[in-house]
Amino acid sequence: MHEDDHDCSPSCGAALAFAADGGPPETPHVATLLDGLPDNWDRWGDDDERGTLNLLGSAEAAAGMRAALAGGDDAIERFTLGLPLTGEAIPEGSTATGDPAFPGRDVSRRDNTSDERAYREGERDPSAGMKFSDDRFSTPFYLQGTTHMDALGHAWYGDYLYNGFDADATAATKRFDTPVEGFDGKVAETRGHANASIAPLADAGVAGRGVLLDVARHRDDGDDTRLPMGAEITLDDLQTTADAQGVTVAERDILLVRTGSMGHTRDPEAAWNPTDEPGLAFSEELVEWVHDRDIAALGADNVAIERVTQRIDGETYVLPLHGAFLRNLGLPLVEMLWLDDLAAACTEDGIYEFLLTAAPLHIQRATGGPTNPVVLKATDGD
């Protein structure tokens, strides 16, 4: 792996009181933790910005299609995995229902700019009798505030992003010829990613064989379908779940891990805390397993894929797998998936493989993009 001894700052709002006592966590340098683990730098050329999406070609799309067609032309179910945007905010630790918001990303709310009231009250005139409704966001719309794919440059440590791009590429300034009105006046200049943005992943798209590992159902340390807050998912949990489901995680698969956490955000009886969600736990074996299988993309139904803070060898780390997966392997992460409906269907017919397609919104220079993945899954038809 490419070593780096420079200082870094936690990403994703990690400085926002993640420690249980409300104080800042200890921050040993993650470079030491990840030293010696695999990376994919230069594997697809020194200018590559697509990472493991390079693994998805015609054969991988065909494998997904075969999975979808395994029950025949008349036995295909369709699922979308994107969360609805309700605009409802959930106070941390409460049992309110609404949109999950990671610290630093407020819930987004939209409002109408045109509707029947506007025509009725004379604010707008019909065009040859035709009327139209329209809307816009009235609060900041955080691109990673709902179901989304992380750009490969979204998280890093030291002075380098995925594939050796300079970390200063995350703060490249662009001036626009025509200013437009923003929340705080005219916007004529912004900062964004010159490299490793979401745009190359949007260009590539995702299409391949997806596999769901429903750890929440098979580990059985919460209720029937959800892991408790604070639960950590190990490599052994993934392998045990795959065995219980009778499914194999093959090379170049798209792996989805279900914790049940997003179900808490839609359940008025369940408390939810974004910084204490269940999620993957770092281990060298997990990183090597993901690398050895050339997992093409990784998604989960929580806000960060992994546990936000993790105790490893007596030290506290913040999102270490983001460093291992995004920065080192170039592995796109898809967060805040809605997996409950898909999981229920998989449980009913015992089929946990499918065709998965997805693409984030193509937003130039962005650190992530909202997405609504589509699954086509075979069913036994009963």
Helices 235-245, 284-292: inter-axial angle, 10-degree rounding: 50
Q: Coil, helix or strand for 378?
A: strand
What is the β-pairing status of strands 374-378 and 76-80?
A: antiparallel
Task: Please report the pLDDT score of residue 223 as a whole number.
Answer: 64
Name the strand (E) or helix (H) holding 256. strand 254-257
Distances (CA, A) of 305 to 71, 126, 196, 280, 310: 31, 48, 20, 6, 13
Distances (CA, A) of 153 to 8, 139, 209, 280, 346: 14, 25, 25, 20, 34
Is 90 exceeded by the pLDDT of residue 224? no
Range in 11-20, 154-163, 356-365 with the lowest mean pLDDT: 11-20
Name the strand (E) or helix (H) holding 111. strand 110-114
Higher pLDDT, 243 or 381: 243
DSSP string, 308-330: SEEEETTEEEESHHHIIIIIII-
pLDDT tens readout for residues 234-271: 999 999 999 999 999 999 999 999 999 999 999 999 88
Q: pTM score > 0.85 for this model?
A: yes
How many angstroms separate the CA atoms of 213 and 207, rounded? 18
Segment 274-282 shows an average pLDDT of: 95
How many angstroms separate the CA atoms of 275 and 239, rounded? 26
Name the strand (E) or helix (H) holding 88. none
The burial class, CB within 10 Å (0-12 / 13-18 / 19+), for 231 is buried
pLDDT band at 113 (very low <50, low <70, confident <90, very high): very high
CATH fit for domain 30-88+142-165+195-378, picks 3.50.30.50, 3.40.190.10, 3.40.50.1240, 3.40.50.2000: 3.50.30.50
Task: Please report the pLDDT score of residue 222 as a whole number.
Answer: 57
pLDDT tens readout for residues 82-110: 999 999 998 877 888 999 988 889 999 99
Segment 40-57 shows an average pLDDT of: 98
Sequence spans of domains, the chain: 30-88+142-165+195-378, 107-141
Higher pLDDT, 92 or 336: 336
